[in-house]
């Protein structure tokens, strides 16, 4: 069992503007910047990291770089989901070999109508049996090309000793609470919606994997810390600071917004990998204004 309590950052992946290759030097610089704050750890190969655009060699290179930078007292989580059970298991074994502490695994969804709860149960139990490191279920945002876990299936999978938690990015506190009430007490729930972190903690979540934490790591982690200390006033204040960044940048502009905001904050975001487009001038103005209003960027 590992503790997922706190905020993990799904690291954005910087690309060289000339070659289009992963910029591993820039990634290391970003990791050091994020880890200067009290975050629980890093997720490599997540949605914010444009994982669907990375080949397996790039995924492993990112993991190797991250493991050299992320200290042993922080978590390194690898996104390893694939469309076949075989490929998912292989990615998971490769990630464990390169030092990942756990894996975050979205459901296979290309053959969506065939992915019944029974087929998903077989898929995840096979993975959990084969994985040498803990497995975290990943409920991908429903606006993406994905499917939705039934609560009963999540509760059943939570009974496996190697399935330790779930990242739920649906943004529904009702559904989150339903799982929290029904799953084993040691099943750890994480949210992916930075605007509702404090509320989710009150519903039974232990933390989050938050795209907005690429921009506001200290503030995001501070919500969990304040809440755990019973300081609702501070947690609420920080939530009010973070929520507009999630809604106005992460939710509104996705990866392109996160990466442009990183550039404005002195980090190395860069453009997304095609076919995603970089942020336009009007949208960039909105991102800049939101960062200024949050106190993260001087006007």
Residue 132 φ then ψ, to 5°: -80, -5
Element (H, E) at 167: strand 163-168
CB 210 within 8 A of CB 194: yes
CA distance 13 to 24: 9
Taking each helix axis from N to C end, the angle separating 56-69 and 85-97, rounded to the nearest 10 degrees, works out to 30
Upper half-sphere CA count for residue 93 (Cβ side, 13 Å) = 10
Peptide bond into 230 cis (omega under 30): no
Q: Which residue has the tokens 């409920």?
A: 139
In the chain, DSSP finds a helix count (H) and a strand count (E) of: 11, 8
CA distance 4 to 17: 35
Nearest in space to 296 (alpha carbons), one of 234, 219, 240, 226 = 219
| Token representation of residue 210 | 């938050």
Q: Is 259 a catalytic residue?
A: no
CB 200 within 8 A of CB 239: no
Nearest in space to 259 (alpha carbons), one of 247, 251, 271, 248 = 271
CA distance 226 to 228: 5
Q: Which of 59, 98, 123, 167 is catalytic?
A: 167
Q: Which residues are catalytic?
A: 167
């Amino acid at each position: 069992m590992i503790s997922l309590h706190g905020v993990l950052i799904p690291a954005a992946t910087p690309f060289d503007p000339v070659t289009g290759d992963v910029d591993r030097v820039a990634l290391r610089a970003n990791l050091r910047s994020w880890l200067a704050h009290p975050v629980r750890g890093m997720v490599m190969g997540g949605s914010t990291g444009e994982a669907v655009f990375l080949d397996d060699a790039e995924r492993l290179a990112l993991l190797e770089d991250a493991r050299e930078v992320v200290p042993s007292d922080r978590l390194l989580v690898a996104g390893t989901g694939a469309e076949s059970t075989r490929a998912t298991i292989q990615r998971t074994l490769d990630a464990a070999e390169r030092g990942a502490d756990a894996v975050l695994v979205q459901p296979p969804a290309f053959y969506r109508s065939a992915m019944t709860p029974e087929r998903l149960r077989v898929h995840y139990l096979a993975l959990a049996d084969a994985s040498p490191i803990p497995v975290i279920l990943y409920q991908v945002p429903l606006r993406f090309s994905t499917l939705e876990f039934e609560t009963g299936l999540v509760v059943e999978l939570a009974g496996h000793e190697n399935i330790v938690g779930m990242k739920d990015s649906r943004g529904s506190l009702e559904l989150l609470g339903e799982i929290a009430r029904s799953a084993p007490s040691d099943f750890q729930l994480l949210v992916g919606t930075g605007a509702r972190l404090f509320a989710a903690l009150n519903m039974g979540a232990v933390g989050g994997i938050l795209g907005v934490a690429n921009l506001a790591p200290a503030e995001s982690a501070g919500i969990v810390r304040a809440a755990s200390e019973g300081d609702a006033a501070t947690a609420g204040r920080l939530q009010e600071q973070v929520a507009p960044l999630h809604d106005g940048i992460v939710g509104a502009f996705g990866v392109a917004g996160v990466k442009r905001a990183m550039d404005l904050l002195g980090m190395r975001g860069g453009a997304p990998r095609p076919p995603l487009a970089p942020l336009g001038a009007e949208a960039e103005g909105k991102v800049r204004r939101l960062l200024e209003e949050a106190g993260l960027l001087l006007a």
